[in-house]
């Protein structure tokens, strides 16, 4: 099967997306004809040496521009658009920004290209922390106490309100951002004000929630395979301080990286509760693609943190204890995406335009007789 892998993007997470894209291309190339599609602020490109990190450190990744159409990928030759590849599916690896908030998903939907992640609606809800919080509330799932603040409020007004309403410590987040970018834990009002100013560099809207003091972070993911929802094992993150930022997650060497414990060594009742909540959220978002849900365990209770509809490495590592390789995970996503295109859609045919045509024709005849 010809499969396009879409990665890169226009967000702060575009470099993380390149790594995910390379991982997925390496996993798939033994089973499929893989076409790299590197997305940038300038458009789409198909690098020749797509699986080399060095390709993206210069301009070589942007030399071969391609164009997405309903008939596949095209490129320009002698001023004309000519066919380049006709993928049967697009594996979406774009983290954050338009690549994860529903915009790219909308483009692929309009072009009728099957894609391997949540729908337009599911992606929009997953990327927006306020909408995600409302989803958790509607599902009866606990999350940290929170408030959201629009662009119309000043930093001082937000800090004053949040401290009074939620107390301290607080966690300040941009509403639509990932990889802990622009996130800060604050223990006094001045720190909250400063954190709000930073968060607003990444998003006009800000979410502030009560920060947990003693907690464990546990992750779980879901995907669909053979028409059935598969829930991954739980994973416990073992950090060395209270919050992992972008540098902690990606820029430290393997020796200093946070530990990962999978399966998580937590009480079986907590693990079962986390898995059930993850599946509940996955189904509410449309049960498409792979979704990773991040949880906090504090004082013996489970709280939902955030949702990732295009998780790093497509969360393949969480399914490894179930006997699924990275290629198996990607294949399950491709199978679901292709099958969804073949699903029967309700078709409605209406004679409305013919009636208008006839009415218009009759009106002209009558007008002609009157004249």
The pLDDT value recorded for residue 347 is 75
Distance, in Å, from the CA atom of 239 to the CA atom of 256, rounded to the nearest integer, reads 10
**Domains in the chain and their CATH numbers?**
2-115 (3.40.50.20), 145-210 (3.30.1490.20), 214-341 (3.30.470.20)
Residue 286's pLDDT band (cuts 50, 70, 90): very high
pLDDT at 161: 97
Residues 113-165 pLDDT 10s? 999 999 999 999 999 999 999 999 999 999 999 999 999 999 999 999 999 99
Write down the pLDDT at residue 243.
53
Dump pLDDT digits (tens) for 218-238. Answer: 999 999 999 999 999 999 998
Residue 281 neighbours by CB under 8 Å, 6+ apart: 135, 136, 139, 141, 291, 293, 304, 307
User: Can you name the residues that pair with 170 across neighbouring β-strands?
Assistant: 186, 210
| Cα atoms in the Cβ-side hemisphere of radius 13 Å centred on 32 | 25
User: What confidence tens digit (pLDDT) does each residue in 53-88 have?
Assistant: 999 998 889 999 999 999 999 999 999 999 999 999
Residue 182: pLDDT over 60: yes
Whole-number pLDDT of residue 354: 83
User: Residue 4: pLDDT above 70?
Assistant: yes
pLDDT the model gives residue 255: 46
Predicted confidence band at 368 (pLDDT cuts at 50, 70, 90)?
Answer: low
pLDDT at 21: 97
pLDDT (0 to 100) of residue 259? 81
> Helices 129-138 and 268-284 sit at what angle, rounded to 10 degrees?
110
List Cβ neighbours of 279 (8 Å cut-off, separation of 6 or more): 222, 229, 231
Q: What pLDDT score does 242 carry?
A: 54
Average pLDDT on 16-25 reads: 97
> Rounded mean pLDDT of 305-316?
96
Q: Quote the mean pLDDT of the chain.
A: 91
Q: Rounded to the nearest 10 degrees, how much is the dihedral formed by the CA atoms of 272, 179, 13, 224?
A: 10
Q: What span, in angstroms and rounded, lies between the C-alpha atoms of 27 and 321?
A: 17
């Amino acid at each position: 099967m010809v499969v396009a892998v879409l990665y890169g993007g226009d967000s702060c997470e575009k470099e993380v997306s390149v790594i995910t894209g390379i991982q997925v291309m390496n996993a798939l190339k033994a089973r499929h004809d893989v076409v790299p599609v590197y997305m940038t602020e300038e458009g789409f490109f198909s690098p020749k040496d797509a699986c080399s990190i060095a390709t993206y450190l210069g301009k070589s990744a942007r030399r071969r521009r391609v164009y997405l159409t309903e008939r596949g990928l095209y490129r320009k030759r002698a001023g004309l658009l000519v066919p380049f590849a006709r993928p049967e599916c697009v594996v979406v690896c774009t983290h954050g920004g338009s690549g994860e908030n529903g915009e790219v998903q909308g483009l692929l939907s309009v072009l009728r290209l099957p894609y391997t992640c949540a729908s337009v609606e599911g992606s929009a809800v997953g990327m927006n922390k306020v909408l995600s919080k409302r989803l958790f509330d509607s599902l009866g799932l606990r999350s940290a106490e929170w408030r959201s603040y629009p662009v119309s409020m000043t930093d001082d007004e937000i800090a004053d309100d949040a401290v009074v309403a939620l107390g301290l410590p607080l966690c300040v987040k941009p509403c639509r951002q990932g990889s802990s970018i622009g996130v800060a834990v604050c223990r006094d009002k001045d720190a909250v004000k400063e954190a709000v100013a930073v968060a607003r560099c990444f998003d006009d809207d800000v979410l502030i929630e009560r920060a947990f003091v003693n907690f464990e972070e546990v992750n779980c993911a879901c995907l669909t395979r053979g028409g059935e929802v598969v829930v991954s094992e739980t994973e416990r993150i073992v950090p060395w301080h209270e919050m992992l930022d972008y540098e902690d997650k990606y820029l430290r060497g393997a020796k200093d990286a946070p530990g990962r414990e999978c399966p998580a060594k937590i009480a079986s009742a907590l693990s079962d509760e986390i898995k059930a909540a993850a599946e509940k959220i996955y189904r509410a978002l449309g049960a498409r693609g792979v979704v990773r849900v991040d949880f906090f365990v504090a004082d013996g209770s489970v709280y939902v943190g955030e949702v990732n509809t295009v998780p790093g490495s497509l969360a393949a590592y969480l399914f490894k204890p179930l006997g699924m390789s990275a290629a198996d995970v990607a294949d399950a996503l491709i199978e679901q995406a292709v099958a969804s295109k073949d699903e029967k859609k309700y078709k409605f045919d209406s004679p409305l335009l013919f009636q208008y045509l006839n009415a218009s024709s009759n009106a002209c005849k009558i007008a002609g007789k009157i004249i």
